[in-house]
């Protein structure tokens, strides 16, 4: 049975990070820290807050959907025709945290954006881990 063409793709990145969820949460929600690992921004962890992520290549329009402190953060991610949702899930795991990021909503005709996101999020995760390791 063939899948309908309306089915969308998701990029999922999961890592075990040896730091508490509270510490990772700060890196995900404090604008000056987000700027260190993702992009410049005017983020606020408030549902319905609209914000922009800006980089030298352009900007991403976002809107906060879910804020559950130290557990879940979700926001829309719209750029260059891509209408997607980024969801972060933090789960305490032993002495650290299982961090999961899913960006959903890539259409089948958005292969370039999909593959770009796969590579980009791996890089962002690496930067995020460095920021988390640095902050007190």
pLDDT, tens digit, 9 for 90 and up, residues 78-122:
998 999 999 999 999 999 999 999 999 999 999 999 999 999 999
* Mean pLDDT score, 21-49: 98
Global pTM value: 0.94
User: CA neighbours within 13 Å on the CB side: how many for 44?
Assistant: 5
Structure tokens at 25: 């949460």
Structure tokens at 59: 């900007």
Q: What angle do CA 86, 99, 80 make, to 5 degrees?
A: 20
Angle between helices 111-134 and 21-29 in degrees, nearest 10:
120
User: pLDDT tens, 52-67?
Assistant: 999 998 999 999 999 9
pLDDT tier, 5 (very low <50, low <70, confident <90, very high otherwise): low
Mean pLDDT of the chain: 95
Query: What pLDDT, on the 0 to 100 scale, is given for residue 2?
Result: 52
Distance CA 64, CA 66 (A): 6
Higher pLDDT, 3 or 125: 125
Backbone angles phi, psi at 113, to 5 degrees: -65, -40
What CATH number matches the domain at 11-134, 3.90.1150.10, 1.10.10.370, 3.30.530.20, 3.40.605.10?
3.30.530.20
Query: What pLDDT, on the 0 to 100 scale, is given for residue 57?
Result: 87
């Amino acid at each position: 049975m063939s899948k309908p063409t309306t089915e969308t793709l998701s990029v999922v990145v999961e890592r075990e990070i040896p730091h508490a969820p509270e510490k990772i949460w700060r890196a995900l929600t404090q604008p000056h820290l987000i700027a260190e690992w993702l992009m410049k921004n005017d983020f606020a962890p408030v549902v319905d807050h609209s914000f922009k992520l800006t980089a030298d290549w352009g900007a991403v329009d976002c809107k906060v959907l879910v804020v559950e402190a130290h557990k879940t953060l979700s926001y829309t991610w719209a750029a260059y025709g891509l209408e997607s949702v980024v969801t972060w899930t933090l789960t305490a795991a032993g002495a650290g945290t299982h961090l999961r990021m899913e960006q959903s909503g890539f259409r089948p005709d958005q292969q370039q954006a999909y593959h770009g996101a796969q590579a980009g999020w791996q890089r962002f995760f690496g930067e995020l881990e460095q920021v988390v390791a640095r902050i007190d």
